[in-house]
Structures are given as structure tokens and as C-alpha cells.
Amino acid sequence: MAMKRIWISILLTALLLILQTFPSAAQQRSWRPTVMSMRGMVASGHPLASEAGLRILKEGGNAIDAAIAAWLVQGQVEPGMTGLGADMYILIYLAKTKEVKFINGSGPAPMAATLDFYKSKGGMPLEGALSVEVPGAVDGALLALKRYGSKSLAQVMAPAIEIAEQGFPVSDTLAGELRSDREKLGKFPSTTKIWFRNGEPLKAGDVVVNRDLARTLRTIITGGSDAFYRGSIAKTTIDYLKSNGGIHTASDWANFRAHEDEPIAINYKGIDVYECPPNSQGHVMLQALNILEGFNLREMGHNSAPYLHVITEALKLSFADRNAYNGDPKFVPPIPMKELLSKKYAAARRALINPDRAIEGEPPPGDPRRMTSLNKQTYSAPQSAPVVVNAWDESRELGLTTYLAVVDKDRNMVSITSSILSVFGSGMVVDGAGYFLNNRMAYFSLDPKDPNVVAPGKRTRQTINPALAVKDGKPYIVFGTPGADTQPQTQLQFFLNVVEFRMGVQQALEVPAVISNSFRGSYYPQRVIGRLITPAMLPKDVQEGLAARGHKLDVRNSRGVGSVKAIMIHPLTNVLMGGVSPTGDSYVMGW
């Protein structure tokens, strides 16, 4: 009898765990299936990148090897988002030691990038040589492989070199991006040489061969980071920048090193959620989770007006703190990160959320050292819900970066966000080297009081912030997204869809999500737009409920939760479950 009671208890516990983790039968089925596998999984922004990572896993590589292989392919098939000229943040969960590691592969401004210089130019440019910072991704990727990979650099780079030499077909998504950025790209002959044909941007189905990039990759295999930052590739790049009016010098590149740092984390209802420390905005999502932990979100109901209201307000309060305190830690006063992520401070910020009124514009920042909020905010008057639905351009709003997630057979997890910032970055392909350069300088401020004001050798505040979570001491979920200031917003809503509303991974990525811009944005000149981007597919009564609370709605024909990709690990069976938002060329593969 006692044994029977034990077995009943075990079965009930297992059933409860399943119900807490997965959607009920009554929930709507997702458009795409949740991909499930046992041995390994890759979720990325393009099928060929996911296939490259999967190939490395099948050849015996670990998650770190596969992630870097996938990223190297992303730089070709998603050239508007990432590549050798990008920045990169990497979060790694090591299954053997149960440690989380963080690698910062973000580069600095050149030493000639003074405040007075850019003021004399009329601001921070969005394209061209003066928009380029030293790219940090290559050294970040090589550091990750050196410390945590298992394959040789030649093995990891093989899929990317194969694609560069043999070619790949332009997708509909990439063709649309090339067409939209025709004017910017057309200014640089080294760019049109690869990405135009007969004076026109490449079209869907055209094949791209990039032998210059293949040679660059082979040079990195033999020369490592030194070749890229201190050798022939650096010389080629710096000469190209100078010939186009740039201010980079050999020492700007030679002095750069990616580095490992401590990740930041909070515990949300028993789940340890990890993010990237400054100069990343990773704390924004964590602060918002702390604030929201004090509300009964399930009782409000998923995507109800009260729910979306508190989501939006928590994020606005967190972004206000980002703008007040976050910058390159080497240049700004000590950032009170411990205090910003404390539950006590979250309670002080939570107290400013009026359930019936939205805070007008960007809220004042709090004082985390004193655990207080400045009660100087104003609240919006009720608004009318708009009847016009505006167009939604995924590349403009959510492109701007790319993301990938990998989990291997040992359940190591890797989360990588990398970016050349705007679509196609500076617009410049390095002549003879074959890769796009970023326009990351466009994130700097020219306000001397701003912690993110431009300075020689300073790293700009980054919006890229890959995430992962651990539950009950086990790897739980790895997730992230492109999208500049939208990243912590859509990552947050995806996470809550899974944790609070028990959705399966793919369904959690397909439901609507809201995006606020009621805070100073990251792009120069850091304007406050003051709108809430609201999917037209949200019920009319929800839109009206948000407007009645004072939110100024910008209704768009958007779909899904940003461009989030995610892999979740079943807590009972250890099965991998992956999904991607229905955007661009995003794809997940497992084996």
C-alpha cells in the first residue's frame, strides 16, 4: 500500500510538471511545429547557418564549435546583419561544471573619435567610414573556440569557406533587403562588385560567390586574431577605410582584445535567468522581470490590456535606468548593477506603475543606491485607439542584428547575438577582404552628460543581449533575438509566454507582442518617440483598453514575438524543443 502511494505521488508530480511546462490541449496549435530532437539542435536566422552548425555537431563538435560555424555562415547568408565586421556577445552554459560564461566581443571607437570631431561633422553618421568602430566579433569567436571549443579552427570554418567559394542562393528576404538599401550600397564599388549585377541589386535565386571572403577566412585559419587585427587583413581594412575618409589607425585595431566577464542574473520564480553585463543592455530584461514578479500576471490574462500595460510600464522604467547609468564600464562611474537587479529596488520601481494610466514618455530614472524612485513622472491622458493600420517592415524594425542558439548532446548551451547594427551596417564591403563593416558609431551620444557619450577608445552601449536560463540546477532554455531596442522587450514576452502561460516553444513565438519606444532610443540623436507599437491582430477591446490607459498606439500589421529564436530542454525526458518566430529566413534544425 505504501509503495502504491509513492507511485501515485510520483505520477502526480510528473503530471503537474508537464502541465506547468507545456500548453494544454485547448491552446491554439502553432503555425510551425515545435522541432524536437535528442542529439543536438541549432536555431538561427537562416537554414544554411543552422545546417552548418548541425553539421559540426554531427562531426563530433560541441555547442561552441557549432555556434561559431553557424555564425560564420550567417555572415554570408545574412550579410546585412552580421559578419567579420560585426560585434558579438556570447553566453555559454557548460553542462559539466554547471557554469555560465560570458564573452564580450564588442569593439571600441577609434582613438580619433572625439566629441568635438563628431560635433564638427554634424552628428553621428549612419553610413560610410566615419560610422565604423573596430569590429570585435572575430576575436570574440576565436576566444570562445580557444577556451571552450573542441574542434580546430579549420574544421569550424570549413562550411563557411565552402559557401564562400561555391556560392549560395539569395533568399527572398535578402533580395528585399538589398533592394531597400540600394542607395546606400550603391555608393561603394567594392560593395556593388559582390552584391549587384548589371547595375542592379541581386535578386532572389541569384547565386553569390565571394572568393575575397574565402581568402580572408583562410588567412584567419593560419594567422588567427593577429591576422585580422594586426596583420594583412587589418592593413587591407584600414587602408580601405582611410581611402574613404576614415579615421582608423593600425593601433586602434592592434590594441583590441575580446575578453571574458561575469554574466549578470536574477532569479524569477525559481528560474535563474542570465544576461550580458554592461556595455550590454542585458539588465533591462532582468529589471523588468523583477518588477513584474510582483504582479499576478496569470490572473490578468495573456495579452489582456492590463497585462500588456504592466509589461510596457516595467520596460519603460528599466530603459530609463539604462539611459541613466549604462555605458562602457571603463569610462563611466561604477554602474550600480547589484542594486539595479535587487528585489528591493524593483519594488520601488513597481510602485510607480499605475494600473489605470501609462507614464508619459520616458520615466525619470530611479536611484538604485538609495533604493528609491523619483516620484516626478507624469501620467498620460486617455487616448483613442487608431483605426489606421501601418505597414511593418521586419528588416527595418527587427533586422539590425541576428541571433543563434545551439544545444549539444551533453546539453551545453550557447546563445550568440551578433550585429553590424543597421541593415548592411556602414554599407561598405572591404575591398579585397569581402566583408561588410559595421556602423556601430551611430549608437553614441553627443551629450557630454550621457554615460554613452562618444570618446576615443570607448565601446558604445550595445543593444545586443543574448539570454539563457537554468531551472532546478539544469539547463532550461536558451533564447535571443535581433531588433536593437526591441530585443529585451520581445525576449521578455517570449519568456513569460513559456513560464507564466505554459506555452510550447513555437506557440510562444507566434502570438502577438507589443513594443514600446517611450524612452530615449539607442540611435543618435536618441529621440523619445513615445508610441506603443501594437499588432493589428490584437483584439479591438485590448487595443482600446491600452489606449484608454494613455498609451499612444501605433498599430502595425506585425506578427510573432519579434524575431526570437529559442531551444528548450524537456525537464523529464531531456528532449530538445526548438522554435523560431515567423520572420525572415529563421530556421531551426535538430538531429
Enzyme catalytic residues: 401
Structural element, H or E, at residue 403 = strand 402-407
Q: Could you tell me if 552 and 533 are in contact, meaning their C-beta atoms sit under 8 angstroms apart?
A: no
Q: Could you tell me if 387 and 553 are in contact, meaning their C-beta atoms sit under 8 angstroms apart?
A: no
Q: Could you tell me if 465 and 89 are in contact, meaning their C-beta atoms sit under 8 angstroms apart?
A: yes
Residue 172: which of 582, 585, 565, 558 has the closest Cα? 585
Residue 116: which of 242, 237, 245, 247 has the closest Cα? 247
Report the distance separating Cα 152 and Cα 312, nearest Å: 45
E strands, 221-308, are 259-261, 264-268, 271-275
Q: Could you tell me if 23 and 503 are in contact, meaning their C-beta atoms sit under 8 angstroms apart?
A: yes
Q: Could you tell me if 560 and 582 are in contact, meaning their C-beta atoms sit under 8 angstroms apart?
A: yes
Contacts of 394 (CB under 8 A, 6+ apart): 563, 583, 584
Report the distance separating Cα 284 and Cα 275, nearest Å: 9
Report the distance separating Cα 19 and Cα 8, nearest Å: 16
Alpha helices (runs of H) in 296-342, residue ranges in sequence order: 297-300, 305-325, 337-340
**Phi, psi of 31, deg, nearest 5:** -70, -50
**Phi, psi of 178, deg, nearest 5:** -60, -40
Q: Could you tell me if 359 and 379 are in contact, meaning their C-beta atoms sit under 8 angstroms apart?
A: yes
Report the distance separating Cα 397 and Cα 540, nearest Å: 23
Alpha helices (runs of H) in 431-539, residue ranges in sequence order: 487-499, 505-510
Report the distance separating Cα 157 and Cα 71, nearest Å: 10
Structural element, H or E, at residue 262 = none
**Phi, psi of 308, deg, nearest 5:** -65, -30
Report the distance separating Cα 427 and Cα 6, nearest Å: 65
Chain position carrying cell 543581449: 465
If one counts every other C-beta atom within 10 angstroms of the C-beta of residue 119, the result is: 12
Residue 486: which of 357, 395, 574 has the closest Cα? 395
Contacts of 537 (CB under 8 A, 6+ apart): 512, 559
